[in-house]
Amino acid sequence: MKLPKTPSFRLDGRRALVAGGSRGIGLGCAAALAEAGAETVIVARSKDELAMAVNAMRENGFNASSVAVDVTDLDAVHALFADHGPFGIVVNSAGIARHSPAQETRPEDFDTVTAINFRAAYFLAREAAAQMDKGGSIIQISSQMGHIGGIERAVYCGTKHGVEGFTKAMAIEWGERGIRVNTVCPTFIRTPLTEATLNDPEKRDWIMSMIKLGRIADVEDVMGAVVFLASDASAMVTGTSLLVDGGWTAH
């Protein structure tokens, strides 16, 4: 009897782009894809941070390069794909959070967060798909907050719920072209973005009460999920979310 064979998690011969890839979750995603064999291009605004990230990846023997781009600049994003594409794997980890009670939301904060978390994410996916003539995988780093609500996170939650919505619609539209579109939804991860929240004892206690595995997540907890969604191991997975939340949303 011939047994079925597990599809490969390897990404050799593929090109990957990671937006927001110079630090935090994005850097973890870039390192994971490169470790799995992909030629990886990381994108962010800071040339200094990009240089440090690329140097670290190359020191580990990875095939990595970078392009300095502000993902809210749609002309620059179009040029990025025109000049450096196509990519069979595109991960968007660019994001920002400006938390406040909903009653105190400032319009300028609303505009900044939606411009990066929602508008830029949407058009980055559109540009990526336009060049995926042989199919591909688009992965949005969303959040558990794209499935629930959170204290002082009305704007952030709104943007992530929006990402979940357009991901499903894009998956339906582009499926016949072999393009898969999914999200990874982490809980609180130890990064500079969450430092202020995790340093607040009251907020940390609330977080720990909700994460049923009993610990704050690390960047490494997201890396395997991204490789899975990028690889042939997830060939039949599209239009859905992979929750890396320690049981939070099951609560």
Which residues are known catalytic residues? 156
DSSP alpha helices (H): ranges in the chain?
24-35, 47-59, 74-84, 107-114, 121-130, 154-174, 195-198, 201-210, 220-230
Residue 182 forms beta bridges with which residues? Answer: 139
Q: Are strands 179-186 and 136-141 parallel, antiparallel or unpaired?
A: parallel
Q: Is the peptide bond before 107 cis (omega within 30 degrees of 0)?
A: no
- The count of C-alpha atoms lying within 13 angstroms of the C-alpha of 93, restricted to the half-sphere facing its C-beta, is 29
Q: Cα separations (Å) of 164 from 54, 61, 108, 121, 250?
A: 30, 35, 23, 11, 17
Q: Which residues contact 107 (CB under 8 A, 6 or more apart)?
A: none
CB 42 within 8 A of CB 69: no
At residue 194, what is the residue type? T
